[in-house]
Structure 1
Amino acid sequence: MKTIRVCLIGTGRAGLIHGRNMAAKIRGGELIALCDPSQEALKAAEKELNVTYTYTDYRQALKNTEIDAVIVVTPTVYHKEIVIAAAEAGKHILCEKPLAMDEAECLEMIAAAERNQVKLQVGFMRRFDESFQEAKRIVDSGAIGEVVLVKSLTHGPSEPKPWMYDISKSNGPIGEVNSHDLDTLRWFTGSEAVSIYSIGGNFRSPEIKEDYPDYYDTVSMNLQFLDGKLGAVDGAQYVQYGYDARVEILGTNGSVLIGDQSKHKVVIANREGEIIRPAMHSWTYLFADAYVAEDQAFIDCILEDSEPFVTGYDGMMAVKLVHAGLTSLLEKRIVWIDKEEAQ
């Protein structure tokens, strides 16, 4: 069987998840190169992953004819230039979410992949999670009737990185956190949104309000879809209690619930009369298997010459909803999405 030789571009926390998978867990894939502008991060990753090539400039990496594919795990603002350059170099691409900063950038990236006949997969790993996939099978079977409402919640525990406070660069939690939720709504409704209304605020980082008055750490969004289905997203950063990702799909004849707040099934009862269940601490733990399945699917779609399970179009539509949601939040109004575009 042919082996797809991979370069990881971006060796931060999320990048190393893909790197470790590709180095040891993926059939038909081989990690041969690393790229990161930070010498310190690059050296640490090289020591752990033991690759043949290392680069501080992705342009140099893309000149290596031994590399068949790249995994792009950089800050979102750099996705467009790297993905287009990779496509022009004939490399297949797995790009972490969000795909780009806006819809126009996404269109350029999709066009570049199509023009150069390379795969472009977007990193919505929840679609590869066993619980999410089982829920999708149940919904598609008609067991709960017609879908009426999909509610998706993501709360992250970590303090935002300094660059995240500038929503012109990060889009805030709607982009960095809730793009997963928006993709989940599209996936389970099987439809496109026609309206979105967002409210939110900065409740946990008051010290940065003067410098970043538009920053928000909590948001609530309501959506309506082309076929009448309803959607709701609950998002928050820096909640501190743990990582929290849950979904409810309400149908005409029943419902499906995905996820809970606990790390595992152990429950502790102590002499103070307390019942304790440790909270989920990190997305890296909760979705570890989903990341493996996602990386395997990327290699498989190259080897089988099939369409990626999560396409550039999926990535673009999530970005479109991110911008609609952010516009609604900042302008305090319902944002209507062109129905013809949603069809």
Structure 2
Amino acid sequence: MKSVRIGSVGLGRLGYEHAKNLSMLLPGCTLHAVCDVDEERLRSVAEVLDIPHVYTDFAEMCTDPELDGVVIVSPSFLHVEQIRIAMEHGKHVFCEKPLGIDLAQCKEAEKVVEVHPELVFQLGFMRRFDPSYAEAKRRVDAGEIGKVVLVRSYTQDPRSTIESTLKFAPHSGGQFLDMCVHDLDLVRWFTGSNIKNVWGLGGVFEFDLYRELNDADNAAVMVQCDNGTMGFLFTNRTHAAGCNVETEIIGTRGTLRIAPVGTKDLLQIVDEHGARQEYYPDFMSRWHTAFLAEMQAFTDHIRNGTRPTDMTVYDGTAVSEAAYRCKESFETGKMLPIR
């Protein structure tokens, strides 16, 4: 098996998760280099994961002739430029969401990818790689629940991480762009239809910082697709029990439910506090298998000379555009069409 050599940029929480997976858990893959502007963090991670090459300059990393591809987990405003630099140097690209911080950047990313059809481009919509979501998609496509009528999806981060969440909030892009994008992607994926209208709702129920940011600490979205399918999405970052992600797909002939309770396993604990099941403590543990699977898919595409067929740069633009309109709808109080 040909070993695929990867360089990864960004060593925050998710960047480090990807680095660990690439360096330790993926067969046929070598994490050849890492890049980060924090030199102390960079060298510490390289030492722990035994990565031979370190860079503080992304463009310099991309000049390395031994690299086959790059994984971009840097701040969102850097994504488009880093996609361009990587592809101009002949590197395959995996990019975390979102494509950019506005629609113009997303369109720019489309143009860059279009110029390099010989290169793999894959987006970080990891829920598509989760075994339960993939099985639900298979059953939807097989017509087992008839026509999809409604997709309901909740994304709730744990309250235990609220301190780091509040530090991240000013740079996150807001609840709709940072969190709802995954749910919006699921709506498009399960329905096979583009989003037509959105109505963003929400409020500040506890944390005043979100009011200063013209954002919400609890937010919801009503969605209507081109084919008439409906969606209801809810998000917050203060779920007391831990990381909770649940999705329900209602069809004319049946319903599929994924994690109606976001427990980490099937264990039920019975003690002096009563009976309970424990949740995943954070999104890293909830999506560990999916993060591995999406990186395996990326490196397999490079090795086999194939391309993702159902997840393209245009999906990234469509989902980001819907998220931007959700934010605008929330700010204006009006249901808005997708332009």
TM-score > 0.5, shorter chain as reference = yes
Please state whether the residue corresponding to 2:221 is helix, strand or coil. strand
In 2: Cα distance, 1:239 partner to 1:171 partner:
20
In 2: Cα distance, 1:209 partner to 1:115 partner:
40
Report percent identity of matched pairs: 33
Please state whether the residue corresponding to 2:154 is helix, strand or coil. strand
Q: How does 1:188-227 map to 2 (within 5 A)?
A: 188-206=190-208, 208=209, 212-227=212-227
Query: What are structure 2's unaligned runs of at least 5 residues?
Result: none
Question: In the superposition, relative to structure 1, how do residues 238 and 39 fare at CA in structure 2: closer, same or farther (>3 Å)?
Answer: farther
| Cα pair 2:165 2:237 within 8 Å, conserved | no
Which residue is equivalent to 2:243? 243
In 2: Cα distance, 1:280 partner to 1:52 partner:
33
Listed one character per residue, the Cα deviations across residues 161-198 of structure 1 (whole Å, up to 9, x for unaligned) are: 456433xx532111111111110111001100110001
Question: In the superposition, relative to structure 1, how do residues 70 and 174 fare at CA in structure 2: closer, same or farther (>3 Å)?
Answer: same
Q: Within the alignment, does 1:43 sit opposite 2:43 as a pair? A: yes
| Cα pair 1:92 1:119 within 8 Å, conserved | yes
Q: Within the alignment, does 1:54 sit opposite 2:58 as a pair? A: no
Instruction: Quote the RMSD (CA, aligned, Å).
Output: 1.6
Q: How does 1:162-177 map to 2 (within 5 A)?
A: 164-166=168-170, 169-177=171-179
**Which is worse superposed, 275-284 or 289-298?**
275-284
In 2: Cα distance, 1:209 partner to 1:31 partner:
38
Question: In the superposition, relative to structure 1, how do residues 33 and 222 fare at CA in structure 2: closer, same or farther (>3 Å)?
Answer: same
In 1: Cα distance, 2:60 partner to 2:112 partner:
19
Which residue is equivalent to 1:31? 31
Residue 113 of structure 1, CA deviation:
2.3
| Cα pair 2:155 2:246 within 8 Å, conserved | yes
Which residue is equivalent to 2:136? 135
| Cα pair 1:5 1:32 within 8 Å, conserved | yes
In structure 2, give the amino acid aligned to 1:190: G
In 2: Cα distance, 1:125 partner to 1:203 partner:
30
In 2: Cα distance, 1:170 partner to 1:286 partner:
20
Listed one character per residue, the Cα deviations across residues 291-330 of structure 1 (whole Å, up to 9, x for unaligned) are: 1110010011122222225221111111111101111011
Residue 4 of structure 1, CA deviation:
1.9
Query: What are structure 1's unaligned runs of at least 5 residues?
Result: 339-343
Q: Within the alignment, does 1:124 sit opposite 2:128 as a pair? A: no
In 1: Cα distance, 2:204 partner to 2:77 partner:
23
Listed one character per residue, the Cα deviations across residues 114-140 of structure 1 (whole Å, up to 9, x for unaligned) are: 313322110011000000011111111
Residue 94 of structure 1, CA deviation:
0.4
Which residue is equivalent to 1:180? 182
In structure 2, give the amino acid aligned to 1:19: A
**Which is worse superposed, 59-68 or 186-195?**
59-68
Which residue is equivalent to 2:64? 64
Which residue is equivalent to 1:102? 102
| Cα pair 1:171 1:326 within 8 Å, conserved | no
Q: Within the alignment, does 1:153 sit opposite 2:157 as a pair? A: no
Please state whether the residue corresponding to 1:253 is helix, strand or coil. coil
Q: Which TM-score applies when normalising by structure 1?
A: 0.92
Which residue is equivalent to 2:289? 289
In structure 1, give the amino acid aligned to 2:311: V
| Cα pair 1:165 1:215 within 8 Å, conserved | no
Q: Which TM-score applies when normalising by structure 2?
A: 0.93
In 1: Cα distance, 2:210 partner to 2:323 partner:
22
Residue 40 of structure 1, CA deviation:
2.3
In 1: Cα distance, 2:40 partner to 2:239 partner:
30
In 2: Cα distance, 1:218 partner to 1:132 partner:
24
